Amino acid sequence: MSPFQKFQEWHQNRHQYAQEWKARTGGKVLGYFCTYVPEEILYAADVLPVRILGSHEPEDVTEPHIFAMFCPFCRDCLAQGLKGRFDYLDGIMISQSCLHIRQAFWSWQLHIPTSFSYYLPMPHHVQSPRAQDYLRGELAQFKGAVEGWTGRTLTDADLDRGMEIMNTNRRLMKQVYELRKAPNPPLVGADAMEMVLSSQMTDKREHNQELAALLEKLPQQKRDGDPPVRLMIIGSEDDDVAFIKMAESLGAVFVSDDHCTGTRYFWNEALPQEDRLMAIAQRYLDRTPCPTKDWPERRRFQQILRLAKEYGVQGALLIQQKFCDPHESDIPQLARLLKENGIPSYFLEFDMTVPLGPFRTRVEAFLETLREEDLF
Ligand code: SF4
C-alpha cells in the first residue's frame, strides 16, 4: 500500500469527505476560489475551508455565464457549482487574484446562493509599504463578517489556534518536500500533488496527523533503478494528476514545482506577533506571489531559481492554462532566466479538452533532449 494512499482517497472523495465532516462535527464548510484566502481565520472559527477545483471533464453549462476566452480552469470550477457538486457548501469566498477566477466567483454567487459569500480585496501591489496596514484592515473586516456568520467572537487564542493548524501543515509538507532532494526521491510528483491537493480539501488537523505518520516511514523508503530525469513544473493552477503520472511514466520525476497547488500554497508561515491579524496579513503579502502580484521586483522568479538549484532540477516544464494572461506574460522572461542558469525549459498549454496523447509525445521529446545534453 502506498504511504500516500490516504491523501489519494481524500482527493478523489473530496465531496464525500466534506459532507461526512459536516455530519460529524456540525460545523460549516466554506468553498474558496484562491489560495490568497486567509484560512487561519476560518480555522479559528472552526469552519472547514475547501478549495473549489474543477473535475477535468468537458462541460457545457458555463457558456452563458463566463467568457469563452477565460481560462478553462475557472470555467471548470464554475461548472462544478452549476452541476450541484458543491451543494453542501454553507458559504463561498474569494480573495482578489485574477479576473477570470473572480468571474467564476461572481457567477457562482449569483446562481448558486449560499448563506455567506465574501469578496476579500487582497491588494495586487503586495510590495507597497501601505499594503500591510491595508490588508490588516481588510482582515479585521473579514474576521467581523465570519463572527457575524458563525455567531461567535474570535479571540486571540482562536487566531493562535488557526495559525498553528496552518503553520503545522505547511511545516510538515515542507519536510516531505525536503525528501525530494534525494538522488532517487522516495516520492514522485504525483504523490506530492495528491498530498497538497488533499490538504486543500480536508481538515488540516487530520491532514497533519497523516503527514506526521508519513514522515515516520517515508525517509526509509528507497527507490530502485536508474535515477530518473529531474523535472520542475511551473505555472498556472494545475491539479492535473493524470498529466503528472503520464510524464513520470516516461522516466522522469518531478522534484519541485511553482504552483498554487504546490509550493506557492504552503511555503511560508505566519510568524507569531502580538497583532495576530498583522501576522496573517504579512504571511499572505510575503508568500511566493502569484504573477498578478509579483511586481515591481520579480520575487517569484528568484524563488523558482532557488528551488530549481536546491532540488537539482535538470529541466522545467512551463505550463499555462489556455488564456491565462498572468502566467503567459511571465513565460518568455522565465524561460530566459532558466536558460541563463543552465536549466532548459519546455512550454505546454493546458486545456482539459485536449487529450493526454499529444502531450505525451512532446514531453517524451523534451526528455530525450535532456538526456542527450547529459551525455555531452
Ligand atoms: S489559471 Fe490563470 S487565468 Fe486561470 S484562474 Fe489561475 S491565474 Fe487566473
Task: Give 74 Cα–ligand 1 centroid separation in angstroms.
Answer: 7
Task: Give 304 Cα–ligand 1 centroid separation in angstroms.
Answer: 19
d(CA 223, CA 226): 9
Task: Give 239 Cα–ligand 1 centroid separation in angstroms.
Answer: 12
Residue nearest to atom 5 of ligand 1 (CA): 101
* Lining residues, ligand 1, CB within 6 Å: 71, 73-74, 98, 100-101, 236-237, 321, 324, 326-327
pTM of the model: 0.97
Looking from the CA of residue 71, the nearest atom of ligand 1 is 4
Residue whose cell numbers read 506557492: 264
Q: What is the pLDDT of residue 353?
A: 73
Instruction: Tell me the β-bridge partners of 345.
Output: 316
The residue to mutate among 71, 293, 350, having the most atoms of ligand 1 within 8 angstroms of its beta carbon, is 71
In the chain, the amino acid numbered 141 is Q
- Taking 50 as the pLDDT cut, the residues of the chain under it are none
Q: What is the pLDDT of residue 1?
A: 82
- Strand 229-235 to 116-120 pairing: unpaired
Residues in the chain, how many?
376
Is residue 64 classed exposed, middle or buried when 0-12, 13-18 and 19+ CB atoms within 10 A define those classes?
exposed
Task: Give 57 Cα–ligand 1 centroid separation in angstroms.
Answer: 18
pLDDT digits (tens, 9 = 90+) for 189-221: 999 999 999 999 999 999 999 999 999 999 999
Residue nearest to atom 2 of ligand 1 (CA): 324
CB 308 within 8 Å of CB 181: no
The Cβ of residue 6 has, within 10 Å, a number of other Cβ atoms equal to 21
Q: What is the pLDDT of residue 375?
A: 55
CB 138 within 8 Å of CB 122: yes
Q: What is the pLDDT of residue 226?
A: 84
Cell reading at 235: 505555472
Q: Helix/strand/coil (H, E, C) string of the chain?
A: CCCCHHHHHHHHCHHHHHHHHHHHHCCCEEEECCCCCCHHHHHHCCCEEEECCCCCCCCCCCCCCCCCCCCHHHHHHHHHHHCCCCCCCCEEEEECCCHHHHHHHHHHHHHCCCCEEEEECCCCCCCCCCHHHHHHHHHHHHHHHHHHHHCCCCCHHHHHHHHHHHHHHHHHHHHHHHHHHCCCCCCCHHHHHHHHHHHCCCCHHHHHHHHHHHHHHHHHCCCCCCCCEEEEEEECCCCCHHHHHHHHCCCEEEEEEECCCCHHHHCCCCCCCCCHHHHHHHHHHHCCCCHHHCCCCCHHHHHHHHHHHHCCCCEEEEEEECCCHHHHHHHHHHHHHHHHCCCCEEEEEECCCCCHHHHHHHHHHHHHHHHHHHHC
d(CA 199, CA 210): 10
The Cβ of residue 183 has, within 10 Å, a number of other Cβ atoms equal to 9
**Through-space distance between the first and last CA atoms of the chain, rounded to whole angstroms:** 40
Cell reading at 206: 487530520
Task: Give 314 Cα–ligand 1 centroid separation in angstroms.
Answer: 27
Q: What is the pLDDT of residue 348?
A: 96
d(CA 322, CA 199): 26
